[in-house]
Chain A
Amino acid sequence: MSHHEHPNATLFRELDAKMKAEGPEGMADYLADDVEWHEIGRDEPIRGKAALVERWAGMGGAGGTFSVDLHDVIANDDHVVELVTATVTMGDKTLTYRTAEIMHVRDGKITARWAFSDDTAAINEFFAGT
């Protein structure tokens, strides 16, 4: 953890703690209403906070579990990048993978997000059909 960090990085450490306590829904307060959320394996982003929260609620209902280990968060005025190790379990399948979560932030809210990884084919295969 950096001891001298951009306020946007501090914001995302707070968000990480909130998500650990409340699950993905804990992020809702940090999303702009018109957020564009790009996911690996989807050509088009999910548009809007309501659609995104609904998607996360649906994934929880499918019986999956999802945990995130925040390795670091790095930020400047234009971008926040979270380095994350995620572990997801669906049924009897488990996948652990690393991502760089790249975000635009305006007035303390996420306005856009992209996820990059070192093996997106493995991620797409795991989530096929969700």
Chain B
Amino acid sequence: MNEQSAANMKRTSDASVAILRQALSAFNRGDVQAAAELLAEDVEWHEIGRAEPIVGKAALAARYGAAIPGWEITAEVHDIVANDEHAIALVTATAGMGGRSFTYRTAEIYHIRDGKITARWAFSDDTAAINAFFAGT
């Protein structure tokens, strides 16, 4: 490990933080197109409560682009930590749906390769409550 390679890896983690901030900002604006541009074509997107990931940028964009009346989520980014393998966003999300509101915290764990998100997992401290709120969506 020399100083040059260490500096390269530092740039990688800084770039991952920036990509996640862009993606979450686009998500909050409801700008599916801008968010999709940060996804790899073969992205694997794991959601709490789903046994199988959503695979592929097109399938994911379709899921989040679908208009669900009265449904919205905003993600407040508490912090993002990253190294050259993983980037993790600590998020407080607030979901509104059908006159109901629910606030929950997640650790969003990402793999990022060549500036694109290739995989994502979401962990939380009470996934049963999240599953109950989103049941049927």
Contact = CB atoms under 8 A, between A and B. Distances in A.
Contacts of B1: 3-4
A130 interface: no
Contacts, number: 85
B68 interface: no
Interface residues of B, number: 32
Contact of B79 (A4, A38, A40, A78): A78
B88 A3 contact: no
Band of interface residues on A: 20 to 34
Contacts of B7: 4
Interface of B: 1, 5-7, 9-10, 13, 46, 48, 79, 81-88, 90, 105-107, 109, 121-128, 131
Interface of A: 1-5, 9, 38, 40, 72, 74-76, 78-81, 83, 98-100, 102, 114-121, 124
Given A3-B6, A102-B90, 9 more contacts: A2-B13, A40-B126, A74-B86, A83-B86, A100-B123, A102-B107, A115-B125, A116-B124, A118-B46
